[in-house]
Structure 1
Amino acid sequence: MPQAKAQKFSAAVREAIDAQWFDVDAVPVPVLVVPINYPADWHIEPHYHRKSQLIYCCAGVMTVETAHGQWVAPPNRCVWVPGGTEHEIRINQAAAMRTLYVEPDIRAGLPPLPCSLAVSPLLRELILAAVISTQAPDPKDFAPGTPNAHIAEVLLDQIIAMPASELHIPMPSDRRLRPICAALTADPGDRRSLKDWAERVGTSDRTIERLFMQETGLTFHRWREQMRVLKSLTLLGSGRAVKSVALELGFANPSTFITMFRKIMGVTPGAYLKGPI
């Protein structure tokens, strides 16, 4: 897998991470969990696998991006990426990543599109129990009736049963919207109005609003607030105070941020970060 190796990382760190990768698509087992720890700010460049993936960080926060959107995942969420889908991963906080590789079409009912899923205590323990200790597992260890085969079956059951969550920023394809979304994701605290953005890209605010609904299913305001809430997960996870996070992300005050967070996530920021919900 290609890695974007920023100069801030030493050669030893880069080599240690690269050494853990192997051709997961060539391993003939139904379910394979690969553990790799990444430092903060590591970037895994755009790539894809033949196998589907369940990307999970049992510690840390990551952002997974495809052509259609971004998914943010702290330890109580994971991201499902169907086989053949190009994606990239940014490690927002030092992460203990545990990636589940699944043979495509092995089970009906698996998500057909990228999505974020809740991680129940059971799913978390199953993922950790399935972590391999070698880069070349023996397919015989996954024969019907073996412990590994049983774990794989229950893992797939759990993935199918997990509800999709709101941790998603849909990304538009329209040429007028993309620079707006790129600028706001780079600087979530930017408070420019819809009219300001419309003038910047040379169209009307009514046109921008219509295009946002058409391409993302969200109003401009709701898209921006949802993006800010997702961006807040990294800051909150690093121990930042709610007030500090709210102001940095452009909310008028902490109560507005908490209200929006609860609306999108179903709980307050403090309750969300305590564990799975």
Structure 2
Amino acid sequence: MRIDLHTHSTASDGTDTPAELVRNAAAAGLDVVALTDHDTTRGHAEARAAVPEGLTLVTGAELSCRLDGVSMHMLAYLFDPDEPELLRERELVRDDRVPRAQAMIAKLRELGVPVTWEQVARIAGDGSVGRPHIATALVELGVVPTVSDAFTREWLADGGRAHVDKHETDPFEAVRLVKAAGGVTVLAHPAAAKRGRTVSESAIADLSAAGLDGIEVDHMDHDAATRDRLRGLAKELGLLVTGSSDYHGSRKTCRLGEYTTDPEIYGEITRRAAGAFPVPGTGGPFGA
């Protein structure tokens, strides 16, 4: 059983539509895929309608958080998307994305990069605009060779020359809100140091005590030594260990199913969830 619990669609900063994503997940040999767009559940309905027979969809989101000045992401699974408190917080984060992107564009222009809001808006399309869309614009302009190369201190990484902070949720509050909405929380790529500063192990321990369910260990931004260290930390704290691709379509090099989650861990996530249920594919109208 192959399970990938972290993917993105055009509802945020991926390049596959939600329907394309679930079809591509099935074609990649996955049995379970989670749709976890940034701070939004807008792609869920299309994905639900398109789940091919033989694939199960887990609905979720990747929540933007910040602790002591460190940006971090919280994967939330199988929560009630209409729970008012969590919905309000997601909308606060999402509504800050446009002015933040415009401020980063202004910084880039001050640095001599001829990027425009019109270019970034075209790239974002109907998705929630974010740094990957600006990074794609930098690739189009020949400023950097790949999207990943834009996420450095020279450009868009935390603390970078063109970086601008946005509204982000306190992770302890995120855990509380997701739990109240019946969901399960997993800290995404907690040691992805190339993205910027990362949270300390003591902070992860505090989040565990506050109800965090797991940490994403097997991820493209964690080398083998880091994965071993995080696995040991998870065991010490009694946290679930997940693995995921963090797939963004053609925007990143990672492939669907590049890293996967153990079926027993997936089973435990579904047992803990009370806000929503996995969606088994029925070969709906958008199916292959």
TM-score (norm 1): 0.28
TM-score normalized by the length of structure 2: 0.27
Q: Point out the structure with the larger strand share.
A: 1
The higher radius of gyration belongs to 1
